[in-house]
Amino acid sequence: MSTVSTEAAAVGLPGARGVLPADGALEKTPLETYVPPAQPSLIGLSRAQISEQFAAIGVASAQRRMRVQQLWHWMYVRGARTFGEMTSVSKDMRAELEKRVTVDRPEVVAEQISNDGTRKWLLRLPSGNNLEKPHEVECVYIPETDRGTLCVSSQVGCTLNCSFCHTGTQRLVRNLTAGEIVGQIMVARDRLNDWPSPPGEEKTHRLVTNIVMMGMGEPLYNFDAVRDALLIVADNEGIGISKRRITLSTSGVVPNIVRTGEEIGVMLAISLHAVRDELRNELVPLNRKYPIAELMQACRDYPAASNARRITFEYVMLKGVNDSLEDAKLLVKLLKGIHAKINLIPFNPWPGTRYECSDWDQIEKFSEYIFNAGYSSPVRTPRGRDILAACGQLKSETEKLSARERQALRAMAMTD
């Protein structure tokens, strides 16, 4: 019975708390807010917040800055998983810290390795009061010859409801905290053995070199946590991944694109997917709030966009929907004056979708047109399809079940 009421809350059935958008609404409200554990993790906290922990255990204010630096180094340069490893911190201080806080990362509940080397981790996150079962998000590591990219999630579910995206059909459970976002990078580096070894000796090459905020969720609807997390990831005295190697993908939350430029300064990717408002309203309903012209203006204004720092426009190839040569022409027109590259993504199908992937020769024709117009237009090779790790497939296997449950519940609600 409790499962039924929980699921009812999640799908907006009678008695639910408005979790799925009402007809025509663009945004879902989160089902929960994060409830911190009694002993929180220091991962994802700012230096000022860590300093408060030192204050609480009686460290004199003149010493705190140096202590924070020590901890920061142990956590983010060496990847220490316990206070016990932090040998440059006095034993007493470690014992005091241990009573109050941890350096825990999200718990890994499953690891899958694709036959193309892609790895996917299923992470368990604590749930708050509303749901009994813990939440899960996925993060994916994609090795390539010259880089290793980690695809990171920002929400459990998504605020938005793009019609071709499986995550969009799911409920928004909650926003991730900065710690849970940085935690995904920590977990990946733990599992890949990507910390300096022996301790203190930096490896000649790192495995996780690039970060893309392209997992589950709309990062710009969880702005503060995403900003705090990415600033930690880019911090030179810690993980130190350059902002040029971090890409934030958004479906077009215009006011927060401006803030991304001002407050984060990472590379930008825009999930465009259509060049006419009428079609984009259908594929990316947020377009009704921030139409194409406004979105393009935000891109033109994005600070530091240049030939070396081009904005990526993602374009999912949907058969007979957005893949004509007329669309390609309009796309080129639309991007005039913007330092842009275009990333064509073959549509990854999921159970129950009404869309199909464009035929390969159509994708090639589309790509060729754009290339001849002077834009780089690589077609994104789907990676990790065998472990459901490709774009838009995250958590689909787990969610298939709840989709069936949802259908059953809807049917029940109708016969009530």
Distance CA 261, CA 42 (A): 27
Query: Least separation, in Å, of the C-beta of 251 and ligand SF4?
Result: 4
Backbone angles phi, psi at 306, to 5 degrees: -155, 180
Please spell the DSSP secondary structure of 155-167, one letter per residue. EES-SS--TT-TG
Query: Least separation, in Å, of the C-beta of 59 and ligand SF4?
Result: 42
Of these, 71, 103, 158, 248, which contacts ligand SF4 (CB under 6 A)? 158
In DSSP terms, which residues pair with 143 in a beta bridge? 148
Query: Least separation, in Å, of the C-beta of 166 and ligand SF4?
Result: 8
Q: Under rule CB under 6 A, which residues in 250-309 are in contact with ligand SF4?
A: 251, 271
Distance CA 302, CA 286 (A): 20
Please spell the DSSP secondary structure of 331-378, one letter per residue. HHHHTTTS-EEEEEEE----TT-S--BPPHHHHHHHHHHHHHTT---P
Query: Least separation, in Å, of the C-beta of 240 and ligand SAH?
Result: 24
Of these, 391, 399, 406, 409, which contacts ligand SAH (CB under 6 A)? 391
Q: Which is nearer to ligand SF4, 101 or 226 (CB)?
A: 226
* CB-CB contact of 267 with 247 (8 Å): yes
Backbone angles phi, psi at 242, to 5 degrees: -60, 150
Per the listing, tokens 């979105």 go with 295
Distance CA 172, CA 26 (A): 12
Segment lying near ligand SF4 (by CB under 6 A), choices 154-162, 236-244, 292-300, 404-412: 154-162
**Is residue 168 a contact residue for ligand SF4 (CB under 6 A)?**
yes
Q: Under rule CB under 6 A, which residues in 231-250 are in contact with ligand SAH?
A: 249-250
C-alpha 13, offset from chain centre: 28
Q: Under rule CB under 6 A, which residues in 34-53 are in contact with ligand SF4?
A: none
Q: Examine the residue annotation and report whether 96 is marked as an active-site residue of this protein.
A: no
**Is residue 9 a contact residue for ligand SF4 (CB under 6 A)?**
no
Distance CA 103, CA 121 (A): 19
Segment lying near ligand SF4 (by CB under 6 A), choices 14-22, 117-125, 155-163, 234-242: 155-163
**Is residue 399 a contact residue for ligand SAH (CB under 6 A)?**
no
Q: Which is nearer to ligand SF4, 21 or 143 (CB)?
A: 21
Q: Rounded to the nearest 10 degrees, how much is the dihedral formed by the CA atoms of 123, 284, 288, 404? A: -70
Distance CA 107, CA 125 (A): 7
**Residue 147 token pair:** 């880089």
Distance CA 101, CA 117 (A): 35
Q: Examine the residue annotation and report whether 165 is marked as an active-site residue of this protein.
A: no
Q: Which is nearer to ligand SF4, 131 or 286 (CB)?
A: 286
The one catalytic residue in 138, 180, 218, 314 is 138
Residue 347 binding result from ligand SAH, ligand SF4, none, given CB thresholds of 5 to 8 Å by partner type: ligand SAH
**Is residue 316 a contact residue for ligand SAH (CB under 6 A)?**
yes
**Is residue 164 a contact residue for ligand SAH (CB under 6 A)?**
yes
Of these, 142, 214, 305, 409, which contacts ligand SAH (CB under 6 A)? 214
**Residue 381 token pair:** 């090779």
* CB-CB contact of 149 with 384 (8 Å): no
* Residues at the contact surface with ligand SAH, assessed by CB under 6 A: 164-166, 214, 218, 249-251, 271, 314, 316, 345, 347-348, 350, 391-392
Which amino acids are annotated catalytic? Answer: 138, 391
* Residues at the contact surface with ligand SF4, assessed by CB under 6 A: 158, 160-162, 165, 167-168, 217-218, 251, 271
